[in-house]
Amino acid sequence: MSTEPAKPVRRTTVPQIRARKGGEPIVCLTSYHAHTAAIVDRHADLILVGDSLGMVMHGMETTVGVPLDLMVMHGRAVVRGTKQALVVVDMPFGSYEEGPNVAFRNAAHVMKETGCGAVKLEGGSRMGETIRFLTERGIPVMAHIGLTPQSSHVMGGFKTQGRDEETWPAHLEDARVVAEAGAFSVVVEGVVEPLAARITAECPIPTVGIGASAACDGQILVLEDMLGLSPRPPKFVKVYGQLGAMIEQAVEAYAADVRSRGFPTEDQVYR
């Protein structure tokens, strides 16, 4: 048996993620609660407590209705359940767009109350000033460009971006501005592959793709989508597990046992 003391586990830091530009792909997943986060933590570099939790966990139609308190609650649970991944908490709609001061107040609240390592907010060029304000005051920011679900009402739904090449300069400008403002990485969501490749080639910070091809510096998926728990996962999701079917089977077996008095048995009874 080794007499060496166990090495303390250190959390991945923002500069370590930043330094992965063009290097080993960055593994990211969402998680919203402690037990799944503990599993994800053993394999991912970065865990996002995404505001997608409004749709996935709370049955909302879009992410627009997610309140700040909900992000704090789930953020805390994920930080408690993890040791090594960098935990990033999403700023929900309405908590940062008004201006840098409001964004700072709310982002500082999220960081203090959850213990997360960074926040994420949606928007490119229009968020440059806010990203600079936050990063200069000690709040690391992950940006999010391309398809930005909080703007789905303006965009007319969840639409793939960049199909028309004339729109590319605006997306490239978004990436340039958020990087220059100090974001340490940028989620690129729902864009066509050649645009994702251009953004990744031109942007000095790591791009983390979701529905944006293998051209990005890293990938992120919503955990429930890749586990087979979402009824209709988007085209860009690869489903790695069939948890929905497993839960169905288990619940069906439990219900049958209870009805036939097959549960509990001797093994589950206190004597």
Would you name the residues annotated as active-site residues?
Answer: 189
30 makes contact with ligand KIV (CB under 6 A)? yes
d(CA 126, CA 178): 9
Binding residue (CB under 6 A) for ligand KIV from 12, 52, 114, 230: 52
Does residue 87 contact residue 116 with C-beta atoms inside 8 Å? Answer: yes
Nearer to ligand KIV, 137 or 159 (CB): 159
99-108 LR contacts (CB < 8 Å, sep 24+):
99/130, 100/129, 100/130, 100/133, 100/134, 101/133, 103/130, 103/133, 103/134, 104/133, 104/134, 104/137, 104/139, 106/68, 107/134, 107/139, 107/141, 108/139
For residue 136, the one-letter residue type is E
- Rounded to the nearest whole angstrom, what is the least distance from the CB of residue 45 to ligand KIV in the complex? 14
d(CA 213, CA 65): 29
Nearer to ligand KIV, 57 or 256 (CB): 57
Dihedral (Cα; 190, 192, 195, 196), 10-degree rounding: 50
Nearer to ligand KIV, 177 or 208 (CB): 208
Nearer to ligand KIV, 213 or 263 (CB): 213
3-class secondary structure, 211: coil
50 makes contact with ligand KIV (CB under 6 A)? yes
Only one of the segments 43-51, 158-166, 198-206, 247-255 lies at the binding site for ligand KIV (rule: CB under 6 A); that segment is 43-51
Q: How do 46-49 and 141-146 pair as beta strands?
A: unpaired
Only one of the segments 35-43, 49-57, 73-81, 168-176 lies at the binding site for ligand KIV (rule: CB under 6 A); that segment is 49-57
- Rounded to the nearest whole angstrom, what is the least distance from the CB of residue 28 to ligand KIV in the complex? 8
Could you give the string, one character per residue 220-249, with x where binding to ligand KIV holds by CB under 6 A and - elsewhere? x-x---------------------------
Nearer to ligand KIV, 55 or 111 (CB): 55
Only one of the segments 47-55, 175-183, 242-250, 254-262 lies at the binding site for ligand KIV (rule: CB under 6 A); that segment is 47-55
With CB under 6 A as the rule, give the number of residues binding ligand KIV: 12
- Rounded to the nearest whole angstrom, what is the least distance from the CB of residue 66 to ligand KIV in the complex? 9
81 makes contact with ligand KIV (CB under 6 A)? no
Burial of 95 (0-12, 13-18, 19+ CB in 10 A): buried
Per-residue tokens: 156: 């007319």
Per-residue tokens: 66: 């997610």
Distances (CA, A) of 156 to 62, 113, 228: 12, 34, 27
- Rounded to the nearest whole angstrom, what is the least distance from the CB of residue 208 to ligand KIV in the complex? 8
Q: Which residues lie near ligand KIV (CB under 6 A)?
A: 30, 48, 50-52, 90, 144, 187, 189, 210, 220, 222
